[in-house]
Amino acid sequence: MKKVILSACVMLIAIAAYGQRDKGTVTLQPKVGLNVATLTNDGDADSRFAPVVGAEVEVQATDMVSFSGGLLYSMQGAKGKVGNVDGTVKLDYINVPILANVYVANGFAVKLGVQPGFLINNKVKVSQNGVNAEVDLEKAFKAAGIDAKLNKVDVSFPVGVSYEFSNINIDARYNLGLTKIIDEDSSKNSVFQITVGYKFAL
């Protein structure tokens, strides 16, 4: 029985280690995916489905732990409706995720970290009776007599999981916004993100 138990433990360790990268390994991962984005503290907000694309670099610190940093073009915001007018708030960011990744099983990692983001595009699109218009969001505030400016820097808390096989990496994470979209309102970014990437050894 003792030999069976030891054999099982050895196999378990081998399985857990299989597919993990050696300490010091550096990989580059181009990736593309989908955001399901909305704004918190806004009961009328619906999700905006939009793409995310970019790349991440990962450094294997130990057999189980790695650290990664990335650059992602992330389309966020929300949708909503007022009467018979449909609206889409488009907030596009360059996000810089900085993550710690813990490999808990064969190819499977749990990750968390911090993500500063930089607002590079802000629009609001409205549609009514087949007529569409798209304007700068801050100009829309001004035209409506609202004294508000968008925060150009956004900070969020990403947490997620990933699974890697044959250098293909599937990543699902939730980015919880910590920064108000505008100081005069409590709404923050809330983004569920799923991506597929391919890891190249450097």
Mean pLDDT lowest among 8-12, 18-22, 93-97, 149-153:
8-12
pLDDT at 2 over 70: no
- The CA-atom distances, in angstroms, between 78 and each of 45, 73, 90, 92, 194 are 6, 17, 7, 11, 17
**Which pLDDT score, from 0 to 100, does residue 17 have?**
44
- Tell me what the mean pLDDT of segment 77-95 comes to: 89
pLDDT 10s digits, 18-36:
446 788 899 999 999 999 9
**Does the 1-201 domain belong in CATH 3.30.1330.10?**
no
For the entire predicted model, the pTM comes to 0.85
pLDDT at 163: 98
Question: What is the pLDDT, as a whole number, of residue 98?
Answer: 99
Q: Which of 6-15, 49-58, 179-188 has the lowest mean pLDDT?
A: 6-15
pLDDT at position 85: 79
> pLDDT band at residue 184, thresholds of 50, 70 and 90?
confident
Give the residue extent of every domain in the chain. 1-201
CA distance readout (Å), 91 to 36, 107, 175: 13, 33, 14
**Cα radius of gyration rounded to whole Å, the chain:** 21
Of 3-7, 61-65, 93-97, 143-147, the poorest mean pLDDT is in: 3-7
The DSSP secondary structure of 99-159, one letter per residue, reads: EEEEEEETTEEEEEEEEEEEEEEEEEEEEETTEEEEEEHHHHHHHTT----B-SEEEEEEE
- Asked if pLDDT for residue 107 goes beyond 80, the answer is yes
| pLDDT, average across residues 89-108 | 96
| Mean of pLDDT values over 63-86 | 91
Q: What per-residue confidence (pLDDT) applies to 58?
A: 98
